[in-house]
Amino acid sequence: MKDINIRIISGALYIFIFLAALLSSYSILLFFLILGVISTLEFCKLTKLNPYVTTALFLALYLFFSTTYFYNFQTNKYYNSLLLSFHSLSIITIFILITNLFTNKKHLKICNTHYLCAIFYITAGFIFLVQIALFSKPFNPYIILGAFIIIWVNDSFAYLVGKAFGKHKLFSSISPKKTVEGFIGGLFFSAISGLIFAQLSQTLSLGQWFILALLISVFGTIGDLIESKFKRLAKVKDSGKIMPGHGGILDRLDSIIFVAPIIYLFLRITTYVS
């Protein structure tokens, strides 16, 4: 009972800080900067990377791609070309990591040095979380809020439905507790939450939120599995201990940082089409 109370308090504090960070573009930038540094350090422990070099890479790339928002660099063709190239490499990395889920190798192919993963998986995740948060001008926090809510709904109902009805393992070699029934339950309730949020937020259309919810649910689940594989290869249960009852920051954000480049791609496509 004590462990459950600690988990609830820790989770509630995390949600409160996140909601407070949504008050302005500056606070959201600082929020993801802090979480990004912690996640990078946790990733270094999992992969035995040099934490100083990796953190320096994170800070340089994060600050460059994020703070340019405040200097109107998004209209600069050279900046846009760099962002597009970085985004493309991040998407490629995502799909390489997905294919590596189905291998039994003791390392992830793209991560022989692990620095590529640190840049195009961890760092890219936080960069595109900021890009999503600052996508609407003037600053509108509802898209990033909706993405997090859908992730939380997916995780919660995947657990509840899986516990009640789960019989078929989803990916037993990586995460023995995940079930196909839980995945379907999470997907269904994520779609419902997307439709509800569309009505409440008045940001994207009903159809856009529905598709986005499905993308978040599917790729978010894959992101959780990929981080689980990193932990399995490192032979640890959690990425860290900073959140009592929950593990590390990377454990809490593995789904959202993995799906962030996908969300950003969707937003760019819908903006271009419309």
| Spatial separation of the C-alpha atoms in residues 121 and 86, rounded to whole Å | 11
Strand 169-171 and strand 175-179: the pairing is antiparallel
Task: Answer whether 92's CB lies under 8 Å from 14's CB.
Answer: no
Q: What residue segments make up the domains of the chain, in order of their start? A: 2-273
Q: What is the pLDDT of residue 135?
A: 87
Q: What is the pLDDT of residue 242?
A: 79
Which tens digit of pLDDT belongs to each residue from 114-163?
Answer: 788 899 999 999 999 999 998 887 788 999 999 999 999 999 999 999 88
**0.95 exceeded by the pTM?**
no
Q: What is the pLDDT of residue 72?
A: 60
Q: What is the pLDDT of residue 110?
A: 46
What's the Cα-to-Cα distance from 84 to each of 22, 113, 263, rounded to whole Å?
A: 26, 24, 14
Q: What is the pLDDT of residue 74?
A: 55
- Measured over the CA atoms of residue 107, residue 110, residue 112 and residue 115, the dihedral's sign is negative
Which tens digit of pLDDT belongs to each residue from 260-270?
Answer: 999 999 999 98
Which parts of the chain sit beneath pLDDT 70? Answer: 1-5, 69-76, 104-113, 244-245, 273-274
Q: What is the DSSP letter of 108?
A: -
